[in-house]
Structure 1
Amino acid sequence: MAVPQACFSQCVSLVGRGQVPHQAVRNRYCVERAHQRRFKFHSLCNRARDGSSSDLHALGVFLDEKLHGARVRARIQFVEADEKPTIRFYRDDTKSVVDRRIRAVCHPGGVVVESPQAVLGVFGSFFSNLYSRAAVSEDLQEDLLSGIDKAPPESKNDSLGSNLSVGELWTAVAAMKKGKVPGPDGLPAEFYRTFWEVLGGDLRDVFATAFQLNYMSQTQRVGNIVLLPKSGDPLDPRNRRPITLLNVDYKSWPKH
C-alpha cells in the first residue's frame, strides 16, 4: 500500500519542469498517505487480537500518533502528555472544522435560507453592495492627490532599489504569529521557520524572478476568503467579517 516511489519521483520531476502544479502532487500524496494509514491501522488491529506484546505496542504507538494529530488539528494547548482522549476532546477536534461552515443565513426579505447555493447568493449580494464604489468627487480627489509627494526621499532610494536578501525574508517570517490558519497551499509560518535553511534561498530566488518579470506566481495571487462571526445574530450577514487567508510566501514579501 506504499506510494510507488517511481510514480512519486516522476510527479516531482514534472513539478520541477512546471508541467504539474505542486498542489496536485501534494493532494495525491495526502490521499495515498491516508489510504496507507487506514490499511496499517486495520492490519495492526487484526494482529493485536492475538495478544502479542509487540503488536499491542505497535498499535499503541500508532494510536498515540493519531491522538497527537487530533490535538494539533484541534489546537488544544492544555492537554497533558498523559491525558487520555475523551468525547469532549474529539468534539473539539471536529468543532475546529465544522464551525467554519455557515449552514444558514437570513435573506433581506426575512426568509432564512439553508442551501449552499442560497447562502452563497445572500452573501454575494450583501458584500457586492457593501464594497461597491461610492460616488467620488473628482475635484476633491485631485486636490488630495496633488498634495502628496509621489517620490520617496532620496535617503530611501538605495534601500528600496536593493536586491531582496534572505535575511530580510527571515525577519518577516520569524515575526509572524504562531498557530495562524495557512493560505490555500496549507503551509503555515511554522513550516517555513522549521525548514528555513532549505527554503530560504529558493524563496529569495522566487521573489527575484517576480521582480524581473513584474509578475507573481499564480499561488501568490490567490487566497481563501472566510467569514468570521462577530457578536450579534449569526443569521444576519452583517455579523460576518470577511478575511482573506494568504499564503505565507506571499505575506513575507510585503513585510520585508
Structure 2
Amino acid sequence: MWQNRGKLSEEDAQELIRPFSIEEIERALKEMDPSSAPGPYELPVGFYREFWEEIKDTLLEMFHDLYSGNLNLCRLNYGLISLIPKLKEANNIKQYRPICLLNMDYKLFTKVLTMRLTTFADKLISAT
C-alpha cells in the first residue's frame, strides 16, 4: 500500500518550506469567503481586503514570525464558542449547534498553508 505513494522532488520540498510571500497571502485573502464570521477581534475578511495596502507589511511580518517560530500562537489560535439554534424556538441544549469563531489572522494562516499543501497533494495522494 505505501510502496506506491508519491514523493516530492527536492525542488518541491524546497517550495513547500520556503518563507511566505506577500503574493500568496494576498491570493489566499482574495479566495476567502467574505461572509465568513469574524472572530474575537471582530475584524472580517472585508476589513483585510479594504485596508490591504495599510496592513500587508504587518501581516507579512506575522507570517515571517510564524515561519521562524517566533510567533506566540496563543494569541491567534483561540476562538469564541457560540451556540446557534437549530430550531426557531430552541429551548433545549440539544437544539443548538456550537460553532467556534476563529480570528481572521488564524484563518488566513490556515488558508495560505492549505493552498500551499494543495499544490502538492496530487503528487502524494493517490486518486484511488
Kindly tell me the number of residue pairs found equivalent between the two proteins: 109
Look up the match of 1:173: 29
Deviation sequence 1:52-104 (CA, Å, 0-9, x none): xxxxxxxxxxxxxxxxxxxxxxxxxxxxxxxxxxxxxxxxxxxxxxxxxxxxx
Displacement, 1:184?
Answer: 0.7
- Could you say which structure has the higher helix fraction? 1
Q: Percent identity?
A: 32
Structure 2 residue 104 is matched with structure 1 residue 254: no
- On the 8 A contact 1:232/1:239 being kept in 2, the answer is no
- On the 8 A contact 2:79/2:100 being kept in 1, the answer is yes
Query: Greater relative contact order: 1 or 2 (C-alpha under 8 angstroms, separation 6 or more)?
Result: 2
Q: CA RMSD in A?
A: 2.5
- On the 8 A contact 2:86/2:95 being kept in 1, the answer is yes
Look up the match of 2:8: 154
- 1 CA distance for matches of 2:17 and 2:69? 16
- On the 8 A contact 2:19/2:67 being kept in 1, the answer is no
For the pair shown, the structure with the greater C-alpha radius of gyration is 1
Name the TM-score, length of structure 1 as normaliser.
Answer: 0.38
* 1:241 paired residue among 90, 94, 97: 97
Q: Measured at CA, do residues 198 and 152 of structure 1 come closer, stay the same or move farther in structure 2, by a change above 3 Å?
A: farther
Structure 2 alignment gaps of length 5 or more: 113-128
Moved over 6 A (4+): none
Name the TM-score, length of structure 2 as normaliser.
Answer: 0.71
Q: Measured at CA, do residues 191 and 233 of structure 1 come closer, stay the same or move farther in structure 2, by a change above 3 Å?
A: closer
- 1 CA distance for matches of 2:106 and 2:36? 15
